[in-house]
């Protein structure tokens, strides 16, 4: 099996290929999870702030149904 170099705490280490792949995979998983959480938070708080600052109170589902004539 081939060897690859990974950097851990600023120190280069020579490890097996499968160990290096799993190390990179874990880093990508954490990065992807952080990006997902960040995007979800931006969308959530953006929608929350938009509805909180548009000046009109939010209508309840019952009010919307009464107005539509159903």
- pLDDT tens column, 56-70: 777 888 888 888 875
Query: For residue range 11-38, what is the model confidence (pLDDT) as tens digits?
Result: 999 999 999 999 999 999 999 999 999 9
Give the pLDDT of residue 20.
93
At 7, is the secondary structure helix, strand, or coil?
A: strand
Contacts of 14 (CB under 8 A, 6+ apart): 3, 4, 5
Give the mean pLDDT of 46-55: 73
The reported pLDDT for the residue numbered 11 is 94
**Residue length, the chain?**
70
Q: How far apart are CA 22 and CA 15, in angstroms?
A: 11
pLDDT of residue 54: 66
């Amino acid at each position: 099996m081939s060897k690859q170099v990974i950097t851990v705490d600023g120190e280069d280490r020579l490890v097996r290929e499968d160990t290096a792949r799993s190390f990179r995979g874990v880093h990508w998983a954490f990065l992807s999870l952080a990006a997902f959480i960040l995007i979800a938070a931006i969308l959530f708080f953006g929608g929350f702030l938009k509805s909180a600052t548009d000046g009109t109170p939010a209508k309840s589902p019952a009010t919307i149904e009464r107005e539509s004539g159903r």
